[in-house]
């Protein structure tokens, strides 16, 4: 796989470096608000387009290990992953020296196999949405979030989505999460809205691994950085220091 396309923020000479890993049918550009916020706090931030997403080339394999193997570099001061990107970042974080800290925003760490057909149908349905469709679906999102998501989804293919789910069935990286050896923050959506991170799963990981912490963004759905950006960014700044 060639080097992944990337969007960057901040001074390349900054003392701290962060890598952002997006979810399915998104792109590095969708991290615009997180990237800008961390850059203003003195970070140099890189957000990649995962294989088959954004401007990255398509591939034959879309297993978590394939995605994780594409992620660039090592010695990141922080890696932040959302949804699918949370699972991918978890797998990558087991590589020695990959990152010093890990933040997982409503990560898709485990999904019941019985729900994968519904997930596939929902993801394929979103491929047909234009910007107006996403604006109707996510009326609380900032216009740039809507625009970037619509642009990314227009570049995604049904084959990539179908293969990503098929190549990761059963969908489960919990054992990888239990073995994480770096401080890790799980940020869940509010279950009164929607979350892909069950409270029981988060609690089990916290009990199994003393390096893992768990917080919930009240009022957020599956995309805390887009649903409740102020609260999410404040938590990131607090936890990352």
The answer to whether the CB of 216 falls within 8 A of the CB of 234 is no
- Predicted structure pTM score: 0.98
Kindly indicate the confidence band of residue 2, based on its pLDDT and cuts at 50, 70 and 90. confident
Kindly indicate the confidence band of residue 51, based on its pLDDT and cuts at 50, 70 and 90. very high
Alpha carbon 22 to chain centroid, angstroms: 4
* Residue 164, pLDDT above cutoff 80: yes
- For 128-191, strand residue ranges (E) read 171-172, 184-188
**CATH code, domain carrying 114:** 3.40.50.1820
Let me know if residue 65 belongs to a domain: yes
Q: What is the pLDDT of residues 12-23, one digit of tens each?
A: 999 999 999 999
Kindly indicate the confidence band of residue 1, based on its pLDDT and cuts at 50, 70 and 90. confident
Let me know if residue 1 belongs to a domain: no
Let me know if residue 101 belongs to a domain: yes
Sequence-separated contacts (24+) of 155-158 with Cβ below 8 Å: 155/27, 155/53, 155/54, 155/55, 156/24, 156/25, 156/52, 156/53, 156/127, 157/52, 157/58, 157/127, 158/124, 158/127
What b-and-e string marks burial along 130-167, b requiring 16 or more CB atoms within 10 Å of the CB?
Answer: ebeebbeebeebeeebbbbbbbbbebbeeebbebbbeb
Mean pLDDT of 52-76: 97
Cα distances (Å, whole numbers) of residue 43 to 19, 31, 79, 139, 202: 10, 14, 12, 30, 28
Let me know if residue 225 belongs to a domain: yes
Pick from 159, 164, 168, 224: nearest CA to 191: 224
What is the spatial distance between Cα 107 and Cα 84, in angstroms, rounded to a whole number? Answer: 6
The answer to whether the CB of 6 falls within 8 A of the CB of 65 is no
Total count of domains within the chain: 1
Pick from 142, 147, 146: nearest CA to 230: 142
Q: What is the pLDDT of residues 184-215, one digit of tens each?
A: 999 999 999 999 999 999 999 999 999 999 99
Residue 13 has a pLDDT of: 98
Let me know if residue 203 belongs to a domain: yes
Name the residue range of residue 172's domain.
6-240
Q: What is the pLDDT of residues 70-106, one digit of tens each?
A: 999 999 999 999 999 999 999 999 999 999 999 999 9
């Amino acid at each position: 796989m060639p080097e992944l396309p990337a969007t960057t923020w901040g001074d390349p000479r900054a003392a701290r470096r962060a890598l952002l890993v997006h979810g399915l049918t998104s792109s590095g550009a969708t991290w615009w608000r997180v990237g800008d916020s961390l850059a203003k706090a003195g970070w140099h931030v890189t957000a990649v387009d995962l294989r088959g997403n954004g401007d990255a080339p398509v591939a034959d394999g879309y297993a978590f290990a394939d995605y994780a193997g594409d992620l660039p570099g090592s010695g990141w001061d922080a890696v932040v992953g959302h949804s699918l990107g949370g699972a991918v970042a978890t797998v990558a974080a087991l590589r020695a020296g990959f990152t010093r800290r890990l933040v997982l925003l409503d990560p898709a760490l485990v999904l019941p196999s019985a729900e994968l057909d519904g997930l596939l149908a929902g993801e394929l349905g979103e491929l047909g949405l234009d910007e107006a469709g996403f604006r109707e679906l996510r009326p609380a999102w900032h216009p740039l979030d809507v625009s970037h998501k619509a642009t990314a989804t227009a570049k995604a293919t049904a084959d990539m989505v179908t293969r990503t789910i098929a190549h990761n069935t059963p969908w489960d990286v919990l054992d990888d999460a239990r073995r994480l050896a770096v401080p890790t923050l799980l940020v869940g959506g509010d279950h009164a809205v929607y979350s892909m991170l069950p409270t029981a799963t988060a609690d089990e990981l916290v009990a199994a691994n003393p390096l893992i912490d768990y917080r919930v963004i009240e009022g957020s759905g599956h995309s805390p950085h887009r649903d409740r950006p102020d609260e999410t960014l404040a938590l990131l700044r607090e936890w990352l220091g």
